[in-house]
Amino acid sequence: MPLYRDFSDDVATILIWKYDESEELDPEKLLEPENQHKVLDYHPNKIAEVLMVRKMLKSVLPDHKILYKENGEPYLFPSDHYISVSHSFPLAALAISENKIGIDLEKRKEKITKIRHKFILHEDFFIDNSQEVDFLTAIWCVKEALYKIHHSKHWSLKKHYDVLPFDLKQEFCVKSRVYDPDNEDFFNAKVSFFGDYCLAIVD
């Protein structure tokens, strides 16, 4: 199994797989019957991402399967653990925990600067523009991971999710919050840069 990185700790199992075209990813063995009709119509890279996640799951919880809610959110059956999934081909990431968890995996790309205005509000004052791509990638990852455990179809990453100030490092922790006019909740996020990628974990 081409396991690329293992970010597991005492609370959660967090695995990252790197695609290897020589590795067997058999949909008949890995993909749940409930998902066959939908997933097999995906782009080949997307199918590979889905199957990589299933293969990782079978290495940890071989008797479980991933199903989807009506809004597309994945969940485990049996539902005795929480999961979060993220892809950025050729990598795929899976988190399994007894507590709610959200992860996001993104590749560093210059084009993120072109959508800065779509997800940055209160963070503007502490972003060092000499490292703009890394700051924006980290913030995007944290907000996406946070959205996976605390979301609403009426909320936006710009208006309802904040990442508090942080010093950019290869690995760091940062506080974040979700808020609306009536409530706010705070969370801790762990951010790791490795190679050309950034991973955020919120739990």
pLDDT single digits (tens) 45-80: 999 999 999 999 999 999 999 999 888 889 999 999
Q: How far is CA 75 from CA 32, 47, 65, 89, 121, in A?
A: 13, 18, 8, 21, 31
pLDDT in tens, 141-195: 999 999 999 887 778 999 999 999 999 999 999 999 999 888 899 999 999 999 9
pLDDT in tens, 103-150: 999 999 999 999 999 999 999 999 999 999 999 999 999 999 999 998
At position 136, the amino acid (one-letter code) is L
87 DSSP 8-state letter: E
Cis peptide upstream of residue 78 (ω within 30 degrees of 0): yes
Q: By C-alpha distance, which of 170, 176, 161 is closest to 191?
A: 170
| pLDDT grade for 3, boundaries at 50, 70 and 90 | confident
pLDDT at position 120, please? 98
SS3 57: helix
